[in-house]
Structure 1
């Protein structure tokens, strides 16, 4: 599927799916800037997640508005979980322009293993089940693509580029 003339992308999926790694590798190929949505969380959200407490929608709304505001500038890729359809709608509204959501899809086992192996991230593996319970994969009527993360990083990037440019 071609994403048309949009130059705004959200790498979405549960924690540990590779948003930061894929974003850093994908941005140069698209001539875009990569931003990590985790950097936009207020300290209270980060502290809550670090304690193993899932965020509520009330915690998320201001953060999603910031994510969308960052996407008002073209040629941006932003890593953001965007787990629910209503969150994606909020981001698009705040961006004021079309946004393509790139769902980085993988199994609970694959992502759990990756999370257990990484160090220095505030999101504990214990919250992964709540993330999968919240996840609403993009539907056919959304501007979105899905890629399997069960492949090497460069293959993931190539898959995204083929679908975006399709």
Structure 2
């Protein structure tokens, strides 16, 4: 990749954003920021209680992630964020040029199994249905790639890096 991107690793809960994000950042040689760390305490309390967030809950969180992304413009970075709706991704893209999404996708049964196995996370498996109901997958006109979450974290991170490199080559060829 020429200019380092700010990569937003997105997807429903349980796809591995927190696991893949740091591995991808390491492969790209840029810092990683955990998107969950940008949630205000009220959001965490709401999700811990099994209540889905609404847009009013998400805007300040997305703005905080966007501020971090803006601070990394031209430097690159990787941050995790569910970014489930197009409007959320539009808001993150508005934070600065070069924001690219890696949409972690996969079989619902696999994602639910992985969610059930994780320890100490505030997002209960019960909210997975609401996550899938909210999800608007990346559209063709959005900067980004989709990556399947089957396999080991290392394999997924390698696929993400390769998909980003192919995306950059394709973009360079069309300009």
Would you say same fold, with TM above 0.5? Answer: yes
Match of 1:130?
A: 130
Match of 1:155?
A: 155
The CA RMSD measured in Å over matched residues stands at 1.2
* 1:114, distance to aligned residue in structure 2 (A): 0.5
Number of corresponding residues: 163
Find out whether 1:77 has 2:65 as its counterpart.
Answer: no
Aligned ranges 1:15-54 → 2 under 5 Å: 15-54=13-52
C-alpha separation between the residues in 2 aligned to 1:148 and 1:55?
A: 25
Match of 1:57?
A: 55
Find out whether 1:107 has 2:107 as its counterpart.
Answer: yes
C-alpha separation between the residues in 2 aligned to 1:144 and 1:18?
A: 17
Q: TM-score, normalised by structure 1?
A: 0.94
Match of 1:164?
A: 164
Secondary structure class of the residue paired with 1:122? coil
Find out whether 1:89 has 2:87 as its counterpart.
Answer: no
C-alpha separation between the residues in 2 aligned to 1:67 and 1:151?
A: 28
Deviations 1:57-107 (A, max 9, x none): 0010011011111001132100000000000000111x2212110000012
Secondary structure class of the residue paired with 1:71? helix
C-alpha separation between the residues in 2 aligned to 1:133 and 1:7?
A: 29
Please list every run of at least 4 consecutive aligned residues from structure 1 whose deviation after the TM superposition is greater than 6 angstroms.
none
* 1:160, distance to aligned residue in structure 2 (A): 1.2
Contact 1:52 1:123 in 2 (8 A): yes
Q: TM-score, normalised by structure 2?
A: 0.90
Secondary structure class of the residue paired with 1:63? helix
Unaligned runs of 5+ in 2: 167-175
Contact 2:22 2:78 in 1 (8 A): no
Contact 1:104 1:149 in 2 (8 A): yes
C-alpha separation between the residues in 2 aligned to 1:64 and 1:24?
A: 19
